[in-house]
Amino acid sequence: MPKAAEKVIEMKDVSNKSIERNWGNFGFDHNYPLVSRSSEMKDIFALIKKIAKSNATVLIHGETGTGKELIAGLIQFISTRSTKPFVKVNCAALPENLLESELFGHEKGAFTGAFQRRKGKFEEADGGTIFLDEIGDMHLTTQSKILRVLQDQEFSRVGGNQVIQVNVRVIAATNKDLIREIDVGNFRSDLYYRINVVNIQLPPLRNRREDIPLIAEFFRRKFSQELRKDVPGFHPETMDLLIHHNWPGNIRELRNMIERAVLLEEERKPIMPQDLAMPGRDYFAAGGKDRRKQSSTIMSLSTLKLADVEKEVILKALKMTNWVQKDAAKLLSISARVLNYKISIYKIKHPNWRKYSS
């Protein structure tokens, strides 16, 4: 194991300063379990530390976007195979006949279009680790061949008779309930027990909300650096929305949302709630009662006349967005053209608007 990695792994409690130092050295793939305040994630990391140096097969289970591939990469990174190949295969991305060729390779002439011999992923991973993502979507025929590799560490290429021996560690992942898949006949029970030597259950992001500020902050720094933009942080209300959002897409959804927000935010301004690509229903659900209560007390209306109320709401939206009309329109969920028309009707002016400056 690399000395630098060992130093990071032995940390029991990670402070913000130490996280900041290690981000620069490793990157999110290897810091992901460390950047956590969740006791469940700390237990997972302790388990990874125990089993990483062994050759035990690992099954990672979790919802889409929870970071299964990142965990597999971490196991490889701190294992004795860290300098050897780490080969990834998405079992759901290819049909059965192509997946078999992808995994085991094929001989010349094995099928139409097989113009030359080709090595498979298991051969490429020899000495290292192969990560079988979405193994629950694998066809039963291919499952039986995977079982043989796990039992005997040998296989034959498609269309060939030569027995090829390999030394490969297998890490598998799925978002399916494999016990249920066994019951309905979609997954082999013998393969399940072979890959389930070590089982890691990744919690969804909504069950580890204490980690959302840390992960969001990491992505803000990452994309600010990549895009060379000075986006200093998050508005408090923005972070509150992130913490209370349900995150059906988990970490992948959070990553995409922060990337978009950094991309669209202006220089030297924090990420505001309206910068989040969050559907209206989710936006208000994440805000909860406190947010709605705050919104109702922001303005004290002196009238209930519809036109006056509408003008006050538009003024409030403009003030909240520093009088940037396109941002105010977004906050009001109307088009910029409609807002411009309303501004004209209500004769709203501001010195920063060029047509009113003289």
Residue 295: per-residue pLDDT:
42
Residue of 84, 85, 74 lying closest to 5 (CA atoms): 74
Distance (Å, rounded) from C-alpha 146 to C-alpha 103? 9
Residue with tokens 């990553």: 255
Compute φ and ψ for 11, nearest 5 degrees: -70, 125
Identify the pLDDT of residue 324.
Answer: 86
What is the three-state SS of 267-313?
Answer: CCCCECHHHCCCCHHHHHHHHHHHHHHHHHHHCCCCCCCHHHHHHHH
Strand pairing class (154-156; 163-165): antiparallel
Rounded Cα gap, residues 208 and 69, in angstroms? 18
Helix and strand element counts for the chain (H, E):
17, 7
| Domains detected in the chain | 3-203 (3.40.50.300), 208-298 (1.10.8.60), 299-358 (1.10.10.60)
Cα 320 → chain centroid: 31
Q: What residues contact 271, with CB distance under 8 A and at least 6 apart?
A: 220, 231, 233, 234, 235, 238, 258, 261, 262, 265
Q: Which contiguous run of DSSP H or E holds residue 170?
A: strand 169-174
Would you state the pLDDT for residue 161?
87
The alpha carbons of the chain give a radius of gyration, in whole angstroms, of 27
pLDDT (0 to 100) of residue 28: 46
pLDDT of residue 282: 62
CA dihedral over 13, 17, 19, 25, signed as positive or negative: negative
Residues 48 and 76 sit within 8 Å (Cβ to Cβ):
no
Residue labelled with tokens 């990670």: 14
Backbone angles phi, psi at 56, to 5 degrees: -60, 140
> Positive or negative, the Cα torsion across 92, 95, 98, 99?
positive
pLDDT at 303: 56
- Asked if 219 and 253 count as a contact pair (C-beta separation under 8 A), the reply is no
pLDDT on residue 286:
55
Question: What tokens appear for 194 in the block?
Answer: 């072979």
- What is the pLDDT, as a whole number, of residue 266? 82
Question: pLDDT tens track of the chain, all 358 residues?
Answer: 444 444 333 333 334 444 444 444 334 444 454 568 889 998 998 999 999 999 999 999 999 999 899 899 989 988 999 999 999 999 998 888 889 889 998 888 777 777 888 899 999 999 999 999 999 999 999 999 999 999 999 998 888 889 999 999 999 999 999 999 999 999 999 999 999 999 999 999 999 999 999 899 988 988 898 888 899 999 999 999 999 999 999 999 999 999 888 988 888 889 988 888 776 556 555 553 333 334 444 455 555 567 777 888 888 888 887 888 888 888 888 888 888 888 888 889 888 776 544 4
Alpha-carbon distance 56 to 50, whole Å?
11
- The residues near 154 (Cβ < 8 Å, ≥ 6 apart) are 148, 163, 164, 165, 166
Secondary element (H or E) of residue 83? none
| Per-residue confidence (pLDDT) for residue 178, from 0 to 100 | 97
Q: Output the pLDDT for position 4.
A: 41
Q: Torsions phi, psi of 172, nearest 5?
A: -115, 155
